[in-house]
Amino acid sequence: MKLTYPEMIDKVDLLKTKRSPSAQDALNEMREASRERIEERLR
């Protein structure tokens, strides 16, 4: 099963954030920002 890069980030983040909701919020924001940068590059 091949994952796209954003999906890999999602999986890693899920593993990291089972502990702390505030860390989850920060990671969600970082993930959105990096996903937008990736999509910019792909255009």
Q: What is the pTM of this model?
A: 0.39
The rounded distance, in Å, linking the Cα atoms of 16 and 28 is 12
pLDDT for 29: 83
Tell me how many domains the chain contains.
Answer: 1
Give pLDDT tens digits for 1-43.
Answer: 576 777 777 777 777 666 666 766 777 888 888 888 888 888 7
Domain containing residue 31: 5-42
DSSP-derived letter for residue 18 is T
| Cβ(22)–Cβ(16) below 8 Å | no
